[in-house]
Structure 1
Amino acid sequence: MMNIDGRCHCGRVTYEASIDPALVRICHCLDCQSLTGSAYRVTVRAAKKDLTITAGSPKSYTRYGDNGRKRLQYFCDNCGSPLFTTGEGADSAIWGIRWGSIRQREALSPASQIWRRSAANWVDRIDQLPAHDKD
């Protein structure tokens, strides 16, 4: 287990959690592409009992995922940063913490990928693109 903390982009919502670093994964589903405005999203799963919101109160909305399950998406109502996701009923015991909001994210590498069939056709070639350390 690893202790982490994080926040939204503006800092209004902060949290702490205990996570298993082996549970970091990439999702390529169309919902995650739309939600992040990118090719995929990275999330680490945590038990609800191991997640504490330490400041602020995120807003949420409900959406059905590509798998048909109801998902609650939590975000900062000031800056819009996606923070968490969870489900209803039995699915509410596990929360997904958005990788980009985690302060220790550099120590967390994805261990798996899901919804790979929806992956952007260029994802596997990203290392072949010209790269610059700054803009």
Structure 2
Amino acid sequence: MANPDFEELVETFEFLDDWEDRYRHVIDMGKAMDPLEDALRVPATKVDGCASQVWLVPKIEGDVFTFRGESDAMIVRGLIAVLVALYDNQPVSEIGKIDAAAELGRLGLNDHLSAQRSNGLRAMVERIRETAASAS
């Protein structure tokens, strides 16, 4: 079962009639995120494989995985917000079990992102999964 925040996002996407509205919603989600402090925008938190500048800062407390992120591109910032909805506050042991491609497919993202954006999204998912796996 996906994170309740992600299920809410899926429901929201079902009400949005066209991709333009969904795209705008993803951007608005990114705008609503708190910015990442400059001190956290360092090479260790930067995600390779993204056309835009992307930083992910994971945090594991006990068995709970959380993360924050930032990008210089509005749509990518929104995609980070989507990933937060999918992965944030999940048990570390569950992160690797989440089928990100299938879950994101429920939003129709696979059909509407450029190849570069799709590659960047995969790179972010991989970073999340690697971080959780190394903490297990």
TM-score above 0.5: no
If the length of structure 2 is used for normalisation, what is the TM-score? Answer: 0.31
Higher strand share: 1
Bigger Cα Rg: 1
If the length of structure 1 is used for normalisation, what is the TM-score? Answer: 0.31
Higher helix share: 2
